């Protein structure tokens, strides 16, 4: 299958300024995702969509395709990842021909491995590209322990009469690390997650790290320094 790996990397970040080029383990954050995609050997190209010339240069230095700077209307806080992906997909297919799948790799998931990417592409291929796949990890807080606040106090989101966590059905959350979908489904449904999406189960906690703010960054650094990440992307 012909797979386009797409890494969206906007220059602006209010919670953690410059995070996509901030050094993690001695190299820019975005390079982790570029290198993992390249190491997987599954992708026709690794394309970066950015509005920032600094990100553009770094991405190209690491071997990614950056054919243009993203238009301003797709570089705002409100621009959706779907709109960004379809814009990049349309441009790429116009230049190089059709692809069978779009593999979205957010640069804020630096410890996603080449092995996990290969697994996602393999599962996608086994379904002949008809079904999207998304990566999931065990939920850190089970829905049974979540509450809504009311005027009279608290009420549970789920009706649950037990008290032992080991009795609960396992719960899973999207970790934002890997999304893969066919161009047709992406364009028609305008979402990477559909009612028939299937899971790519990732149990390694480091791969589920999603860097959104300073606290996430400190956590990622500490996990890396503790030797809890095996960098298979180099």
pLDDT at 167: 81
pTM value is 0.94
pLDDT at 234: 59
Instruction: Identify the CA nearest to 32 among candidates 207, 191, 192.
Output: 207
The C-alpha atoms of residue 49 and residue 8 are separated, in whole angstroms, by 5
Which sequence spans correspond to the domains of the chain?
A: 3-136+172-225
pLDDT beneath 50: ranges in the chain: none
The C-alpha atoms of residue 146 and residue 152 are separated, in whole angstroms, by 16
The C-alpha atoms of residue 163 and residue 128 are separated, in whole angstroms, by 43
pLDDT at 164: 77
pLDDT at 231: 67
Indicate if the alpha-carbon torsion angle 11, 65, 116, 198 is positive or negative.
positive
CATH of domain 3-136+172-225: 3.90.550.10
Contact between 54 and 21 under an 8 Å Cβ cutoff? The reply is yes
């Amino acid at each position: 299958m012909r797979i386009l790996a797409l890494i969206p990397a906007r220059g602006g970040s209010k919670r953690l300024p410059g995070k996509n080029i901030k050094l993690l383990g001695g190299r820019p954050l975005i390079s982790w995702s570029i290198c993992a995609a390249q190491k997987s050997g599954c992708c026709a190209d690794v394309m970066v969509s950015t509005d920032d010339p600094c990100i553009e240069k770094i991405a190209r230095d690491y071997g990614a395709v950056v054919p243009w700077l993203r238009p301003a209307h797709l570089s705002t806080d409100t621009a959706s990842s779907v709109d960004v992906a379809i814009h990049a997909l349309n441009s790429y297919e116009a230049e190089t021909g059709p692809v069978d799948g779009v593999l979205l790799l957010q640069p804020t998931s630096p410890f996603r491995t080449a092995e996990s990417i290969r697994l996602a592409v393999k599962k996608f291929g086994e379904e002949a590209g008809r079904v999207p796949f998304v990566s999931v990890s065990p939920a850190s807080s089970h829905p049974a322990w979540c509450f809504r606040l009311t005027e009279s106090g608290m009420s549970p989101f789920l009706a649950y009469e037990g008290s032992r966590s080991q009795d609960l059905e396992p719960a899973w959350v999207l970790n934002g690390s890997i999304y893969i979908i066919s161009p047709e489904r992406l364009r028609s449904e305008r979402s990477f997650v559909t009612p028939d999406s299937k899971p790519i189960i990732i149990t390694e906690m480091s791969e589920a790290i999603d860097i959104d703010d300073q606290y996430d960054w400190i956590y990622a650094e500490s996990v890396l320094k503790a030797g809890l990440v095996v960098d298979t992307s180099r």
